[in-house]
Structure 1
Amino acid sequence: MSLAFHTYLRSHMSLGEQDLERISMLAIPKTLQRNEMLLQQGQICRYKTFVVKGLMRIFGTLENGTERILQFSPENTWTLDPESYDHQTPASFSIAAIEQSELLLWTKPDFEILLNEIPALKSFSLKLLSHSSYSSRHRLFSSLSGSPEEKYNDFLQHYPDILNRIPLHMIAAYLGISLKTLTRIRHAQLHR
């Protein structure tokens, strides 16, 4: 099991060695290459996934082929299509690696066992759900009310550590603006 994952768990909750071992024992390690899919729209999301190393994106594709990115998941974050995972229905969104990524996966039945056996993990999972809900509401409000410049500045605040790892066309897809508009905004900020 990844030392980085153990460090992550210990920094967020108090776990004994036995609990760490139990969580680790049920994890399935997986490596994805750049642009490789973890989940395709229409498949059922069967895993709760932790990003040990790398960078993932959750996105939907419009009928005309345009991609809209909902979220980026760098190291030390979790990723999944929550609706598909919870209800075991076809996913509305896809999840793919932006760069080579090392992941840990837990099946839904295994993760539910862990939640029932380890109260600290259950409590932490609930905190993550709340945080995700708050972040989603903030992002939705920003998307609906912000100018392209405000959306980009908000992106810079939330993702400063991964900005240089994401291609510009993906940042534009996340912000819901054209690549041309994003290029103009960045150019204007450089010349201030």
Structure 2
Amino acid sequence: MHSEFETYLRTYGLPDESVCRISSLAMSRTLRRNEFLMSTGDVCRHKVFVMSGMLRIFNITADGNEHILQFSPEHSWVLDVESYDMQIPSKVNIGAVEPSEILYWHKADFEKLRIEVPELRLYAEQLISRNIHHSRDRILSALGATPEEKYEDFVQKFPNLLNRLPLRMIASYLGVSLKTLNRVRHDQLQRI
């Protein structure tokens, strides 16, 4: 049904029967570039897997500044955890950075799968743990790293995203101004 997604799950050790069950409840959707999957104030009711393209989770402040919390390229999961878990209005938007194909599951269906498929529950717990570690590293970087260190860390962790993202989005993700990011990149090129 969703062969690429099924291959992805098998690489994490899920047996064929479980993979087929998970895939059978997935729905698919295509998003255009800049199309919103979810807006601030909506309740997050789906788990989402990015098949192709890239999504971002972001917030826009009252003064119009955008703060990007996460990029989700192909073969990654995306949702607003707080809104999904508590079924409360979201504080963030989720939108397509580029044309994207996604799979998604309604909350009730995914929770049923987590009960029925113990391998999925274990996999989900591992994903949650990795996301907690990544979030902690982001917070520590935001609090103490210089713009140069933030950019170098981004380059090391996400080299495949550099050519896919506008500089303004990278600056927003790093929490620096576009002017600062341009200076950091220029200084880096001068050292090479």
In the alignment, what sits opposite 1:155? 154
In the alignment, what sits opposite 1:10? 10
1:103 and 2:99 correspond: no
Quote how far apart the aligned CAs of 1:13 are: 2.1
**TM-score normalised by the chain length of structure 2:** 0.97
Query: Structure 1 regions of 5+ residues with no counterpart?
Result: none
Contact persistence 1:151–1:175 (CA under 8 A): yes
Quote how far apart the aligned CAs of 1:2 are: 2.5
Alignment RMSD (CA, Å): 0.8
What CA distance in whole angstroms lies between the structure 1 residues aligned with 2:162 and 2:7? 24
In the alignment, what sits opposite 1:40? 39
Aligned residues: 191
In the alignment, what sits opposite 1:21? 20
- The residue type equivalent to 2:43 in the other structure is I
**TM-score normalised by the chain length of structure 1:** 0.97
Task: Give CA-to-partner distance per residue, 1:84-127, whole Å, 9 cap, x none.
Answer: 00011000111000000000000100000100010000000000
In the alignment, what sits opposite 2:90? 91
What CA distance in whole angstroms lies between the structure 2 residues aligned with 1:172 and 1:78? 23
Alignment of 1:135-146 (within 5 A): 135-146=134-145
Identity of aligned residues (%): 51
What CA distance in whole angstroms lies between the structure 2 residues aligned with 1:157 and 1:2? 31
What CA distance in whole angstroms lies between the structure 1 residues aligned with 2:30 and 2:5? 15
What CA distance in whole angstroms lies between the structure 2 residues aligned with 1:153 and 1:90? 35
What CA distance in whole angstroms lies between the structure 2 residues aligned with 1:106 and 1:28? 6
Alignment of 1:163-174 (within 5 A): 163-174=162-173
Contact persistence 1:13–1:121 (CA under 8 A): no
Moved over 6 A (4+): none
What CA distance in whole angstroms lies between the structure 1 residues aligned with 2:92 and 2:122? 27
Task: Give CA-to-partner distance per residue, 1:109-157, whole Å, 9 cap, x none.
Answer: 0000100010000000000000000000001000100000000011111
